[in-house]
Structure 1
Amino acid sequence: MSRYQTDDSYLNKDTKLQLQQKIIHYHSEIISYQNKIKKMEHEFEKEKIRNKYLQEKLHEVQHTNLESYEKEIAALQAKLLSYEVALEEEKSRIQILEAKLIQPIQNVESIKIVKAEPVLRMQSLFNYSFINTQIEDDEESFISILGDFIIENLGTVPLHSPIICIRIVPINAGHLSGKIAINQSISGSQFEDSLQEEWQFVHENWKEKVKGKGEYWIKPVKQVTLNPSERIIFSNFELNLKRIVEQGSIIAEGFAYCSEIPNGIPALNKIILNM
């Protein structure tokens, strides 16, 4: 997934949120104006009743205080007129707000949801330490390294059937040992309680792979699926490396594979021993 597509997705979400906020605002204003109209209509009815009452009184008294009644009636008529004008204005405002309300709803419906593209990403690394030091002037001594090899799914899709390759260079510089089942026909139920700990060699001729290329190919005994953010660990392996001065450096390299990444990826670090 490209950065631009991610930005577009966030933009669509922000736009949708803004439109929803506008809709809430317009709804609130419409309710307010509707309440005002109801109040005005109520006042208008009251004034009509009052006007009728005064008209009746005027008819009754005829010439008694006629002038004052006529002035009061004129004032009430002017007030009624102002209420009518205000009522028309509020109705006009409601029509405008309703039109504005319809437009954001249409905009929300027209927004296309951008689906994020799946991300395929795997990471692997060594975590190790030396458990003893070399012996001076002893060319046949071994240096032991205890460590873990970690594979982690950093993508957004599951990864299936992880495989590890650990290669020692030079080929005859040492050997790898750990929790690796030699017999590949072992029942999976035997390791149900330790899925992350039990491994087996990928190839039946694994010894030839070691002798010919210095490569140890291993996989979990049971089928494994790494979901996003999950990891699997080949733990507590031991590298016994020969301390041979003429070789200069001994390097242990790691590679991780899975069904989705058949070409594999190298580990983030290497184990390097300088003689």
Structure 2
Amino acid sequence: MLNVNITNNGRKVSSISPDSLAAFYYFLNESGFETQLDHEHHTLELKPGLHEKHITLSPVMHSHLNSFRRNQVEQQILLQIKKYLEHSGAKVTILAEEKPSILADFHLRLAITELVKLQEPVIELSYNAKPNNRKWLSILRNEIRKYGASFQSNETINDLTPYLTIQANHPEIKNETFWNDYGQNYAIMIAMSILARFRSDMPLSLLSYLPLEFLNQPISKTNKSKKTQNELHKENSNQVKKISLDTSKKIVRETAETFFDYQTILDSEKRKVKLLVTFTIKNTGTTQLTNPLICLKTGPDNEIKISGQIVPPNVAQSMGIMNDSGASGWKYHANDWHEHLREKGEIWISPIQDLTIQPNTQHSLNNVQISLPSNEKTAKVQIEGFVFFNEQKLEVQSNNRILVSY
């Protein structure tokens, strides 16, 4: 029997034995490919995961940004994103204007600005609410914080076309340096997030985003000459010894990382700004970490107000979240926390119950509401995060910080 040719747009990319057709056909469908089997011509036509998806890209068209724009870098990033998505099968169009076609499946708006007074990048996201937002939003957040940038996200419910608006505000930096240090990484992380946005619930569907040439790559090659049984036995014995020696040394590493994830709510009429904040602690070491002590530091000049699921220490046992082992949750570390905030600009928070964070797991301080001052003297607020593990003698500063100008 003739082999079945795997084709894309009529071009052969691989071939398989007809005896493997059923299993391979099932694999391709589970991987997110669209398939069409032609028994007469012994072909299996494949369409990649983003086949027939139309994605539009455009710069953010706001006149107040024009004097701060980095147009050359914007175009470089948009062109690179276009290449990445087209290679995964999408139809991608770069628009000169911001408004996308209602027939588009997704629209990206991008602005790269240069603000001389900034000391670190500030990335602002705006997107419309969809049930599958969480995955791609998590990818962007995790990638952005690798570069020490502040991250802000706002969710809306308008627009028929799913969209994402990214405004990356940067300190002054040369175009060529910017592209090498930030631009290429932005193109990759944005393209990754769009791919995640389209990903279905099928666990293998990521394969359908790869170029189809991967089907024609051999799994492995070897040029090693044949060895005698004695040589193989000696080699295996040495490998066992090496493995035994390696596994006998257990590496103990006490490390952690922390980061903010927050949304900004602005009431322009009353000139009030509120932040909805989550502060996450991740154990990146090899041993457990216990009883984190959190410090949110803003400075005594910023008259912020804090509320949420944090209770005073004297009522923690009665107002905490109750479970089988008693009250849990978070409390202010001292009864005079108000005075500490006013005098030093610091908020100290600790767990109500003993808290253990195992390796490769994380724990979050959720739903913290911070109201920013509305007086005209203060137009910029910065909040930093620190975590102290006293038992492990470990201090960790957050990967990013909250920076709001209004």
Q: TM-score range by the shorter chain?
A: 0.5 to 0.7
Tell me, in whole angstroms, the C-alpha distance in 2 between the residues paired with 1:109 and 1:167: 52
- Indicate whether 1:182 and 2:312 are aligned: yes
Answer yes or no: is the 8 Å Cα contact 1:202–1:219 preserved in 2.
yes
Q: Provide closer, same or farther for how the CA distance between residues 155 and 268 of structure 1 changes in structure 2, counting only shifts above 3 A.
A: same
Which of 255, 259, 274 pairs up with 1:125? 259
Say which structure is richer in strand.
Answer: 2
Q: Provide closer, same or farther for how the CA distance between residues 180 and 195 of structure 1 changes in structure 2, counting only shifts above 3 A.
A: farther
CA deviation vs aligned residue, 1:172-214 (integer Å, no higher than 9, x gap): 4211111112144643896227999721111233222112112
Tell me, in whole angstroms, the C-alpha distance in 1 between the residues paired with 2:326 and 2:396: 23
Partner of 1:256: 387
| Aligned residue identity for 2:245 | I
Tell me, in whole angstroms, the C-alpha distance in 2 between the residues paired with 1:222 and 1:101: 56
> How many corresponding residue pairs?
177
Answer yes or no: is the 8 Å Cα contact 1:118–1:157 preserved in 2.
yes
Gaps of 5+ in 1: 1-21, 27-96
1:219 Cα offset (Å): 1.2
Partner of 2:344: 213
Q: Provide closer, same or farther for how the CA distance between residues 190 and 242 of structure 1 changes in structure 2, counting only shifts above 3 A.
A: closer
- Indicate whether 1:271 and 2:402 are aligned: yes
Tell me, in whole angstroms, the C-alpha distance in 1 between the residues paired with 2:324 and 2:367: 17
Q: Provide closer, same or farther for how the CA distance between residues 107 and 130 of structure 1 changes in structure 2, counting only shifts above 3 A.
A: closer
Tell me, in whole angstroms, the C-alpha distance in 2 between the residues paired with 1:244 and 1:172: 10
Say which structure is richer in helix.
Answer: 1
Answer yes or no: is the 8 Å Cα contact 2:313–2:334 preserved in 1.
no
Q: Provide closer, same or farther for how the CA distance between residues 250 and 157 of structure 1 changes in structure 2, counting only shifts above 3 A.
A: same
- Indicate whether 1:201 and 2:332 are aligned: yes
Gaps of 5+ in 2: 1-226
Matched residue SS, 1:113: helix
Mapping for residues 134-173 of structure 1, pairs under 5 Å: 134-135=268-269, 141-173=271-303
Tell me, in whole angstroms, the C-alpha distance in 2 between the residues paired with 1:195 and 1:129: 32
Tell me, in whole angstroms, the C-alpha distance in 2 between the residues paired with 1:215 and 1:195: 28
Tell me, in whole angstroms, the C-alpha distance in 2 between the residues paired with 1:152 and 1:117: 19
| Aligned residue identity for 1:113 | L
1:102 Cα offset (Å): 7.3
Q: Provide closer, same or farther for how the CA distance between residues 144 and 120 of structure 1 changes in structure 2, counting only shifts above 3 A.
A: same
Tell me, in whole angstroms, the C-alpha distance in 2 between the residues paired with 1:237 and 1:194: 24
| Aligned residue identity for 2:368 | F
Tell me, in whole angstroms, the C-alpha distance in 2 between the residues paired with 1:102 and 1:231: 45
Answer yes or no: is the 8 Å Cα contact 2:288–2:358 preserved in 1.
yes
Root mean square deviation of aligned Cα: 3.2
Decide which moves more: 126-135 or 226-235.
126-135
Q: Greater relative contact order: 1 or 2 (C-alpha under 8 angstroms, separation 6 or more)? A: 1
Partner of 2:367: 236
Answer yes or no: is the 8 Å Cα contact 1:184–1:200 preserved in 2.
no
Q: Greater Rg, structure 1 or structure 2?
A: 1
1:171 Cα offset (Å): 3.7
Partner of 2:322: 191
Q: Provide closer, same or farther for how the CA distance between residues 196 and 258 of structure 1 changes in structure 2, counting only shifts above 3 A.
A: farther
Q: What TM-score, normalized to structure 2?
A: 0.38
CA deviation vs aligned residue, 1:148-193 (integer Å, no higher than 9, x gap): 1111111111101112111223444211111112144643896227
Q: Between the two proteins, what is the percent identity of the paired residues?
A: 24
Q: What TM-score, normalized to structure 1?
A: 0.55
Answer yes or no: is the 8 Å Cα contact 1:256–1:266 preserved in 2.
yes
1:108 Cα offset (Å): 5.4
Partner of 2:182: none
Tell me, in whole angstroms, the C-alpha distance in 2 between the residues paired with 1:110 and 1:127: 47
Answer yes or no: is the 8 Å Cα contact 2:258–2:398 preserved in 1.
yes
Tell me, in whole angstroms, the C-alpha distance in 1 between the residues paired with 2:237 and 2:312: 66
1:222 Cα offset (Å): 0.9
Which of 105, 110, 113 pairs up with 2:245? 113
Answer yes or no: is the 8 Å Cα contact 1:158–1:226 preserved in 2.
yes
